[in-house]
């Protein structure tokens, strides 16, 4: 163990538009030694999520960008290897904001215990972690679907979208998922139990979406933006709510796209239909996390809330998997297995 090497992936350069392999660099370094009050953590699974694209850019946002040369940020499930803290001992499992690396130190901040007997440990990064909580908090605080209403979400086979639809149905609403390709659509409809699934790659996507929402849309859970938003906008009902938690279709934009200018049409709809658009990140609702676990964990255990994971093996494959995710190539919550 003392001779073991740590590996990590750092931001080699900032992307212009789509990230490429050259923006990442795999480094091998000595395993760090924990100091007083510190833990040494070893990563089991790394979560890959669309928000990371934002951290690769220097633009001001709710979180600091990753600096060039720094380890890519990310949440992991890790095992405590050594502890100089009374609250953790070797062998404990935690989620930690450790980043894209095999080992890291922690002073205990930002950790959450993972109970391996409660559910598979990977779920702490997906259905019972940040993505699931994003769906839960956005619906509960902003979307507020009522019985008989229609809830639409894109990336519906992914970890946020799949939870949005399933929670909407538990609230008595009609859930319509948008996904890329027939295989994902079949999964959304047949496995996750959405009322309908629409393939955004279809040439008549907007018409199909309209047909799937015969009573219009009351809640649109926005995580993609772009062409999907343009198809959703005319279908929104008066007083529709739009939680905005992501805009993956536009993360690679280097600047405002060519026209026409779609902003006036959206603003006119906000006014005429009295829409509410509200952006949020999960840290805004951190106080709800215990409610989330209380409400959702039993449903995951008893199978009434389903999920799918897409696990890539080896830290060195994280950049390629991440770039593929931004193009919708993953199928389910994307994880990197870093150590068994």
Contact 188, 250 (CB under 8 A): no
Q: Is 105 in the site for a second copy (CB under 8 A)?
A: no
Q: Which of 271, 287, 290, 302 binds a second copy (CB under 8 A)?
A: 271
Candidates 36-44, 73-81, 133-141, 257-265; binding stretch for a second copy (CB under 8 A): 257-265
Verify binding: residue 289, a second copy, rule CB under 8 A.
no
Rg, the chain, Cα only:
20
Cβ proximity to a second copy: between 53 and 308 the closer is 53
User: Shortest approach of a second copy to residue 254 CB, angstroms?
Assistant: 11
Indicate the residue among 5 and 265 with the shorter CB distance to a second copy. 265
| Binds a second copy by CB under 8 A, chosen from 109, 203, 263, 340 | 263
Q: Using an 8 Å Cβ cutoff, are 145 and 163 in contact? A: no
Q: Footprint of a second copy on residues 233-252 (CB under 8 A)?
A: 238, 244-247, 250
Verify binding: residue 253, a second copy, rule CB under 8 A: yes
How many angstroms separate the CA atoms of 78 and 98, rounded? Answer: 9
Q: Does 287 help bind a second copy (rule: CB under 8 A)?
A: no
Nearer to a second copy by Cβ, of 19 and 319: the residue is 19
Tell me the DSSP string of 125-136.
GTTTSHHHHHHH
Residue 304 touching a second copy (CB under 8 A): no
Q: Please report, as residue ranges, which positions from 53 to 92 form the binding site for a second copy (by CB under 8 A).
A: 54, 60-62
State in angstroms the smallest separation of the CB of 285 from a second copy.
10
- The answer to whether 294 and 132 have CB atoms below 8 angstroms apart is no
Asked if 336 and 321 count as a contact pair (C-beta separation under 8 A), the reply is yes
**Angle at which helices 289-301 and 130-138 pack, to 10 degrees?**
110
Q: Is 18 in the site for a second copy (CB under 8 A)?
A: no
CA distance 182 to 336: 25
Question: What minimum distance in Å lies between the beta carbon of 152 and a second copy?
Answer: 16
33's tokens? 């030694």
Q: Does 52 bind a second copy (CB under 8 A)?
A: no
DSSP characters over 72-97: PP--EEEEEEEE-STT--TT-EEEE-
139 close to 149: Cβ distance less than 8 angstroms = no
Phi, psi of 331 (to 5 degrees): -135, 90
> Does 267 participate in binding a second copy (rule CB under 8 A)?
yes
Query: Could you tell me the smallest distance in angstroms from the CB atom of residue 253 to a second copy?
Result: 6
Nearer to a second copy, 9 or 137 (CB): 137
Residues in contact with a second copy, counted by CB under 8 A, come to a total of: 43
State yes or no: residue 147 binds a second copy (CB under 8 A): no
130-138 vs 159-170: helix crossing angle, rounded to 10: 40
Task: Name the site residues for a second copy (rule: CB under 8 A).
Answer: 54, 60-62, 222, 225-226, 229, 238, 244-247, 250, 253, 255-281, 284
């Amino acid at each position: 163990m003392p001779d073991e090497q740590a590996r990590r992936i750092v931001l080699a350069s900032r992307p212009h538009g789509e990230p490429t392999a050259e923006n990442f660099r795999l480094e091998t370094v000595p395993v760090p030694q924990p100091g007083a009050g510190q833990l040494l953590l070893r990563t089991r699974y790394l979560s890959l999520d669309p928000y990371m694209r934002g951290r690769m850019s220097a633009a001001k946002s709710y979180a600091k960008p990753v600096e060039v040369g720094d380890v890519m940020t990310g949440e992991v499930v890790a095992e405590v290897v050594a502890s100089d803290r009374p609250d953790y001992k070797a062998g404990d499992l935690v989620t930690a904001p450790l980043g894209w690396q095999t080992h890291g130190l922690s002073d205990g901040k930002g950790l959450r215990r993972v109970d391996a007997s409660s559910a598979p440990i990977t779920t702490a990064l997906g259905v019972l972690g940040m993505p699931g909580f994003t769906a839960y908090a956005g619906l509960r605080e902003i979307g507020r679907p009522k019985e008989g209403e229609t809830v639409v979400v894109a990336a519906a086979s992914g970890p946020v979208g799949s939870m949005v639809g399933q929670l909407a149905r538990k609230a008595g609403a009609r859930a319509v998922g948008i996904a890329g390709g027939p295989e994902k659509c079949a999964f959304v409809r047949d496995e996750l139990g959405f009322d309908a699934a629409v393939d955004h790659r279809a040439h008549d996507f907007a018409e199909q979406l309209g047909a799937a929402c015969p009573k219009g849309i009351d809640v649109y859970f926005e995580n993609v933006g772009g062409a999907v938003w343009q198809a959703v906008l005319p279908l929104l009902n008066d007083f529709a709510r739009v939680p905005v938690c992501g805009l993956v279709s536009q993360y690679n934009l280097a600047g405002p796209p060519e026209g026409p200018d779609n902003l006036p049409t959206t603003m006119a709809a906000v006014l005429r239909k009295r829409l509410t658009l509200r952006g949020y990140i999960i840290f805004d609702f951190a106080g709800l996390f215990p409610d989330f676990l209380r409400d959702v964990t039993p449903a995951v255990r008893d199978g009434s809330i389903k999920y799918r994971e897409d696990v890539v093996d080896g830290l060195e494959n994280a950049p390629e998997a991440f770039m593929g995710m931004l193009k919708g190539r993953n199928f389910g919550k994307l994880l990197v297995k870093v150590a068994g």
